[in-house]
Amino acid sequence: MKTINALSNAASALRRQAMATGLGLAATLYTTAALAVNDLPGGPAVNQLDLHPPVTRIAAEQQWLHYFMLVICMVIFVAVFGVMFYSIFKHRRSKGAKPANFHESTTVEIIWTVVPFFIVILMALPATKVVVAMKDTTNADLTIKATGYQWKWGYDYLKGEGEGIAFVSTLDTSHRLMSDSGKPEPTDDYLLKVDNPLVVPVDKKVRIITTANDVIHAFMVPAFGIKQDAIPGFVRDTWFRAEKTGDFYGQCAELCGKEHAYMPIHVKVLSQADYAVWVEGEKKKLAAKADDPAKVWELPELVARGEKVYAANCAACHQASGKGAGAIKPIDGAAVVLDADKTKQIAILLNGQNNGAMPAWKHLSDTEIAAVITYTKNHWSNATGQIVQPADVLAARK
């Protein structure tokens, strides 16, 4: 293991050197944004050359493995191409080289088959250990389900301290607008800022169960060394035990449609005590926010509520104007929306349409669905005066 440590030291040294060169390069290059932007702790650093500083054992192991591989590969590379370039400089005709005549040797063929075979085994051994550790998701202190939606993450605290907490985490709207503007202000957490970060306690084994509502997404947090596809209809899991408090960032890592670049992951790691406080506060908020599904709403109230739901969920595709875009159907003036039979629109929201091009929204509460439908039925040119009550939605769910 000594040699391996030496290798990894050499790797870090190399890395530092590369970093210096890289920075020099960056300075000469400098494009608009980069100068004003700073490293984002827990997220990417400016012109970062390496994996994220590890915050879990697994991430540290991965980084070590990467150095280990890199060093072996570089050594082989230098050796092999050292020979090649030596030959290129020495055995060229302009240097008067005469061609030799040999063209086969079983001995060397065997050597350069067997030696790489052992090198590969050498590489596979430590990797095997990490694979086994990585896949062991048993005995978690906290289990959280992360559901990928187009395009946000839903978190449900399933087991452990905080059980029952559930919320959705979306990219900060101003960032999305900045992106569209084409001239985003220098922002350290550009495209990484969310409304509700995932909150976890430090030093606890957190098991993340991933699944998805529509298409495949992937839950990735580089500092934790995790990346797990979220597959609709199936659950998969991964785990981490963060060794530091702080904010850590990741992004969706599987192409999931047009807003793929806009569904970041922000994990806030809190000390045990802070986490307990957070859980308390969250539980209180939940209790206060819970809508009574039996409540009968007035139209303006419900429209106002619906506007918020629309902005948070629907506007990304159907646009604030309700006109849709491209393949996305308009809502303004749509036949289903104007239809007196409310159940049609309720059914579309609950079940989706067009193979999920319009996803199912059944994870929204009855009140939210009722509100957003009422809103669409009474906004833009749609003035139906119809009102959909949460009870209608509840009835349609069965």
User: Segment 368-387, which members bind ligand HEA (CB under 6 A)?
Assistant: none
Residue 316 contacts residue 259 (beta carbons within 8 Å): yes
Q: Kindly report the CA angle at 227 between 281 and 185, in degrees rounded to 5?
A: 70
CB of 320 to another protein, least distance (A): 16
- Span of 1-9, 26-34, 270-278, 375-383 interacting with another protein by CB under 8 A: 26-34
Judged by CB under 6 A, does residue 116 bind ligand HEA? yes
Binding mask 249-278 toward ligand CUA (x if CB under 6 A, else -) reads ---x-xxx---x--x---------------
Q: Are the C-beta atoms of residues 263 and 316 closer than 8 Å to each other?
A: no
Tokens 């202000």 belong to which residue? 185
Per-residue binding string, ligand CUA, 123-152, x by CB under 6 A, is -------------------------x--x-
Integer Rg of the chain from CA: 28
Q: Pick from 37, 166, 336, 391: which binds another protein (CB under 8 A)?
A: 37
Q: Are 368 and 380 in contact (CB under 8 A)?
A: no
Paired tokens of 153:
């993450």
CB of 8 to another protein, least distance (A): 14
Q: Give me the residues paired with residue 229 across strands.
A: 218
Lookup result for tokens 């915050």: 55
CB of 71 to ligand HEA, least distance (A): 12
100 binds another protein (CB under 8 A): yes
45 part of the interface to another protein, by CB under 8 A: yes
User: What's the rounded Cα separation, in Å, for the pair 159 and 156?
Assistant: 9
Residues 6+ positions from 119 with CB-CB distance below 8 Å: 72, 76
Mapped onto helix, strand or coil, the DSSP state of residue 385 is coil
Q: Tokens 């000594």 sit at which residue? A: 2
Site for ligand CUA in 206-225 (CB under 6 A): 217
Choose one: 37-45, 112-120, 294-302, 324-332; the region binding ligand HEA (CB under 6 A): 112-120
Q: Alpha carbon 295 to chain centroid distance?
A: 37
Residues in region 61-100 near ligand HEA by CB under 6 A: 76, 80
Stretch of residues binding another protein (CB under 8 A), selected from 43-51, 199-207, 342-350, 379-387: 43-51
Q: How many residues does the chain have?
A: 398
The stretch near another protein (CB under 8 A) out of 107-115, 280-288, 337-345, 366-374 is: 107-115
Spatial contact of 226 and 144, defined as CB atoms under 8 Å apart = no
Binding site for ligand HEA (CB under 6 A): 76, 80, 116, 119-120
Binding site for ligand CUA (CB under 6 A): 148, 151, 217, 252, 254-256, 260, 263
